Structure 1
Amino acid sequence: MAEVSKNTAEQHELRTSFDKPKTTLAPDDEAQNIFFQDFRARDEEWLSFKEKQLLRKVDMHLLPFLIIMYLLNFLDRSNLSQAREGGLEADLGMDGTAFNLATSIFFVGYLLMQLPSNMIITRVRPSIYLGTCVCIWGVVSTCNAATHKFADLVVVRFFLGFVEAPFFPGAVFLMSSWYTRAELTRRIAWFYSGSALANMFGGLIAAGILGNLDGNMGIEGWRWLFIVEGVITIFVALTATIFLPDYPATTRWLSDEEKAFAAWRLLADINEADERHSRSIWAGIKLALADYRLYLFVLLQHICLLSQTFQYFFPSIVETLGYGNIVTLLLTVPVWFAAFLTSVCVNWTASKTGDRSLHIFGLMVVAAIGNAIVTGSTTLGARYFAMFLMPCGAVSAFTIVVPWIANSFPRPLVKRSASIAIANMIGNCSSIYGSYMYNAAAAPQYVPGGSANAAISLCVGLLALVLRWLHQRENKELERAEQEGGEEDE
C-alpha cells in the first residue's frame, strides 16, 4: 500500500474522533465482501502492484480533465487583466478604481454559490454537475466580449463568479473520493498547478490575439480574447461531461475487482465507510463548525489567498518595467512557468517528507522578499527577478494549504465536503477587498499593495507554524490517553 506519512506535526488528521477499527468496514454487498477478504489475505508486493496499476488508470482518466478545466477556470477569471492591456478600460470608459471593482465583483458571486454548490455535488453525479457548470461559465465568459459599458462588465463578472464557484471545491471533493490522504496531496498539487499554467498560457494567448486579431472583422482584440477562450471552455466542458468519472463504484472503465479494490483502499485509509447519503447536509455543516481546527485553516486559507491577489494585476505590475503591452504579456510567461515548476517540486517534497508547515513557512518568506524588492527597488533587473519570487512563493504555498485542509477533515463525507467549501468560501472573501490593494494611482512601485502583501506573507508562514505546534501538542495528548487506556485494559 502507498506509504502514509507518520509526521505527527502534519498528519493530525490521521488521528481523529472518526477513526474506527478495521472491523467497522461495511461492504455494500456480499460480492464486495469476498473481494475485501481476498485483499486482506494478499501480501504487500501484490497490493503494491495492484495499487500502482489502479492509480495509473485513475490518474489518466481523472487528472487531465480536472487540470485542463481548472486551467480554464482560472484563465476565464483572470483574463480581465490581459484584456486591460488590449484597451478594455478605454473602450468601456473605465477610470479610477473601476477596474478594481470589476475584479472584486467576481468574488461576490463566487462566494454566494460556494457552499450550496459543494453540498449539491454530494447528491448528483460530479461529471454532469461539474461539466454543466463549466459549460455555463464558458458561455458567460464569452459574454464579456459583448459588453459596451462598465455596468455591463460588472454584471457579467458577477454572474461569471456565480457559475465558476462550484468547480474548485467540487473538483477537490471528487479527487478525495478516489485518492488516499497521502496520495491526495500530490494530486491536488498537479490540479492546482493549473492556476500557474493558466497565467502562463494566458499571457501567450493574449499576446497572440492582441497582436494578430485586433481589429479583425471590426472587433477589438480584447473582445476576441474573451470569445476564443470562452469557446475553448465550452468545448472542453462538453467533452468532460462524457469522459469525466464519478465515484469508483459507478465507473464503467473499472472491473468489479478494481472497483472493490478502490473502495477497500479508501476504507483502509480512513477506517470508515464513505456513505454518501447517510448524513444530511446540515449535519455535515454542524460537524465541520464544531471542529476548532476548521477556523484556523479558514484563516490560513484566507490570508494565503490574500497574499496572492497580485496575480489579478500581474500584467500591470510587469508593465511598470517600461515595455509595450505585447512584450509585457510575453514577460509574464517565464514567471508563471517558474511558479508551475516550483509548485510541482515543493509538493513532491511535502508529500515525501509529510511536512507541510515548514514548506509553507519557507515559501511565504520567499514571497515576502519578492514583494519587498518589487516595492522598494527601482532597478529593472532586480524588480523583474523579484516578480519571479512573488508567485513562486505565494502560489506554491497555496498548493500545499489546499490538500492540508482536505486531508484534515476526511470523514464523514458531508463534513469533508462542508469543510472544503467553508474554507474556500471564506478564504476567497479576501479577494473582494484584496482587489483594491493594487490601485493604478500607486504605479509604478505599488507601495501599498506590495508592502501589505509582504507583511501578509509573513503572517501566513507564522500561522502555519502555529498549526504545526497545535498538531504536535494534540497528538502527544492522544498518545498519552491511548497509553493510559492500554494500561487500564491490562
Structure 2
Amino acid sequence: MSIQEEKKSESYAENVVAVSNEDDDFRLLTADARKAGERALVRKLDRRLMPTAVVIFILNYIDRVAVTTARLQGLEQDLGLTTVQYETILAILYATYCPAQIPSNMILGYITRPSIYIGACVVGWGLTSALTGVTTNFSGIMACRVFIGVPEAAFYPGIMYLLSRWYTRKELALRSAAFYCGSLISNAFGSLIAAGILAKMQGGAITMFFGFLTMCPHNTRWLNAAERRLAQVRLAEDAGEADKDSDNLTIYDGLWLAIKDPKTIIFMFMTCAQLLGLSFTNFFPTLTGTLGFNTTITLLMAAPPWIFTSACCVISAWHADRAGERFFHIAGWWWVVILGYIISLSTMATGGRYFSLFLMTTGYCGFALTLAWVANAIPRPPAKRSAAIGLVNGFGNLGNLIGSYVWNASWGPEYHQSMIIALCSLVLSTALGFLMRWILIKENKNMDMEEKNMMEGPGRERIEEAARLEGITFEEAVKRRKGFRYLY
C-alpha cells in the first residue's frame, strides 16, 4: 500500500465521524464502546443475513438436484432420452448460468435495493423449476434448464459479494463456509427430498415463497445509525481504504479493472479446474448407486458423506479466519479428494468405495472458501471486486459444464477415466493456487518495503512525533500505521 493510500484511509476514517451532526451516529466508535459494539454488530449481521442465505441455498440445490435424482427413477426412459441427451440437460444449465453471473454481479454493486433483485431472481428460478415438472420431452426440459440458469446466476456470487460488504477479511471465510453449508446440506438430503416432490415439483413453489420473503422493506432498517457507521469504518480500516467506489467509476470500469488484474485470470482458471475436479457432485446419486443398493438406500447412503463435509467445512473456515491463511485451507482439501480418487481407482469393494466418497466430498470445503479468497485478494474498489467475483465463479463453473460429459455412463460403474480426468484437474488447480499464493506473498513484501522506506529519515521523525503527541510508544505508533496485507 502506498503512502497516499494510507492517507486516504486515515482521511476516510476521520471523515466518517466528522460528517455526522448527531452524537448517536458515532457513539460506537469511541474506545470504550468499540469492542462491544462490534461484537453486537457481527451477531446482528449473523442473525439477519446468514439464515436467509442458507435456506435459499438449500432450496436452490433441491431444485437443481431434482433432475439427477429423477435419473434413478427412470427419467431417461420416461422422456426417451439418450445418454448424450441426459448429459446435455445437465450441461445446458451452465450455458446461461456462467455468462450471466458477470453482468449480474456488476449490476448488484450499483443497485440500491439488492434484496429486491435477488428475491426476484429466486422467484424466477422457482417458477422455472415448477414448470420443469410438467415437461414431457427432451425439448421441454432443455428449455427449462436453459432459462433456470439466468436467475440462478445472481444468487451465489451475489450473496458472496454482499457478505464481503459487511464482514472483514478475517470474518469472511467462516461466513462464506456457513453459507455454502446450505449447498452441502442439500447434497446430503436434497436428493431424498427431491425424490419425494419429484412428481409435481412442488419445491419450486416453496422457493418462490421464500423469494418473496427475501424482498425486505429496507436494506439496513434493522441497523441503527451508529451500527451503520461502525460497519463502514471497520471495513475501511480492514482494507486500508473506504469500501466505496469513486463517483466517476462505472460498472464497466470495474469490469475492465478486474480483467486487467492477473489475479482475476489465475483465479478463473483455478476455479474452473477445481470444479472440473469436483464435478462428480452432479452424478453423486449415480456413484452411490454403484455400491449395489436399491434407490431408497442409495439416496440414504448419499447423505452421510455430505454431513461429514459440512462439519469439516465450518471447522476449516473457522481455522482459516483465525490463522489468516487461505491457500492450504483450500488446496489441502483438493489433496484429500485426490486420495479418494486413488482409492476408488484401486478397488470396487463396497467399503473402500464408500469411504472414498467421504474423501471426495470434502473437496467442497475448499471451494466454499474460494470466493472469500477472491474477495480478500481483490478487495477494492467494490466495482472491481464484484466483477472479479462474477468472472471467477462464472468462468469457473465451465468446469461443471465440462464435467457433465466427463462422467459418461458407458464408463461406469468403475468410472476410471472420469476419475483420472478429475484428478489431473485438481493437480492443475493446485499449481495455479501455488502461483496465486506466490504473487500475494510478493505483493505483501513490496508493501513491507514501502513501509520500511517510509520509516527512515523524515518518515520516522513524523511517526516519532505522532507517538509523542498521542502518548504512546514508537512501536505502537508503527503498528497503527501498518497497512493492509493480502491473505494467502
TM-score in same-fold range (> 0.5): yes
Number of the residue aligned with 1:178: 166
- Residue 85, structure 1, aligned to residue 72, structure 2: yes
Deviation at 1:238, TM superposition (A): 1.2
**Contact preservation (8 Å) 1:18, 1:411:** no
Q: Alpha carbon RMSD of aligned pairs, Å?
A: 2.2
Show structure 2 runs of 5+ residues with no match: 460-488
**Which residue, 264, 271, 274 being the options, matches 1:301?**
271
TM-score between both structures, scaled by the size of structure 2: 0.88
- Provide the residue aligned with 1:337 in structure 2: 307
- TM-score of the superposition, structure 1-length normalised? 0.88
Aligned residue number for residue 332 of structure 2: 362
1:36 offset after TM fit, Å? Answer: 7.2
Secondary structure at the counterpart of residue 223 of structure 2? coil
Q: Sort the Cα spacing of 1:401 and 1:32 in 2 relative to 1 into closer, same or farther, 3 A.
A: farther
Letter aligned with residue 417 of structure 1: S
* 2:424 equivalent in structure 1: 455
Q: Percent identity over the alignment?
A: 35
Does residue 231 (structure 1) correspond to residue 205 (structure 2)? The answer is yes
The match for 1:288 is 258
Instruction: Give yes or no for the alignment of 1:144 onto 2:120.
Output: no
Shift of 1:35: 6.0
| Per-residue deviation, residues 149-203 of structure 1 (Å, max 9, x unmatched) | 1111111101111121111111111111111121111111111111111111213
Match of 1:258? 227
For residue 20 of structure 2, what is the aligned residue in structure 1?
A: 31
CA distance in 1, matches of 2:167, 2:367: 20
CA contact 2:133–2:199 (8 Å) conserved in 1: yes
What secondary structure sits across from 2:455 in the alignment? helix
**CA offset at residue 376 of structure 1?**
2.9
Contact 2:245 2:382 in 1 (8 A): yes
AA aligned opposite 2:150:
F
- Give distance in 2, aligned partners of 1:30 and 1:203: 53
Alignment check: 8 A CA contact 1:27 1:33 kept: no
1:441 aligns with 2:415: no
Q: Tell me, yes or no, if the aligned pair for 2:61 and 2:190 is still in contact at 8 Å.
A: no
Larger deviation, residues 364-373 vs 68-77: 68-77
Is residue 132 from structure 1 mapped to residue 120 from structure 2 by the alignment?
Answer: yes
**1: CA distance, partners of 2:12 / 2:214:** 36
Judged with a 3 Å threshold, the aligned counterparts in structure 2 of structure 1 residues 17 and 205 are, in CA distance, closer, same or farther, namely: farther
Q: Which amino acid aligns with 1:284?
A: G
C-alpha contact (below 8 Å) 2:12/2:236 kept by paired residues: no
Q: Give structure 1 stretches of 5+ with no counterpart.
A: 1-13, 210-221
Aligned length: 455
Kindly provide the amino acid, as one letter, of the partner of residue 334 in structure 1.
P
Change (3 A) 1:327 1:15: farther
| Alpha-carbon distance between aligned partners in 1 of 2:116 and 2:165, rounded to the nearest angstrom | 16
Matched, 1:101 2:88: yes
CA distance in structure 2 between the partners assigned to 1:182 and 1:331 by the alignment: 35
The one-letter code matched in structure 2 to 1:153 is I
- Post-superposition shift, 1:38? 4.9
- Tell me the residue number matched to 1:416: 385
Q: Partners of 2:5 and 2:148 in 1: how far apart?
A: 37
Question: CA-to-partner distance for each residue in 1:374-424, whole Å, 9 max, x for gaps?
Answer: 2331111000110111011x1111112120011112221111111111111
Q: Output one character per residue of 1:270-289: Cα deviation in whole Å (capped at 9) or x when no partner.
A: 23333357220111112112
From the superposition, tell whether residues 479 and 33 of structure 1 become closer, same or farther in structure 2 (CA, over 3 Å). farther
Work out the CA distance in 2 between the residues paired with 1:176 and 1:316.
36
Is the 1:117–1:165 Cα contact (8 Å) retained in structure 2?
A: yes
Of residues 434, 439, 447, the one that matches 1:465 is 434
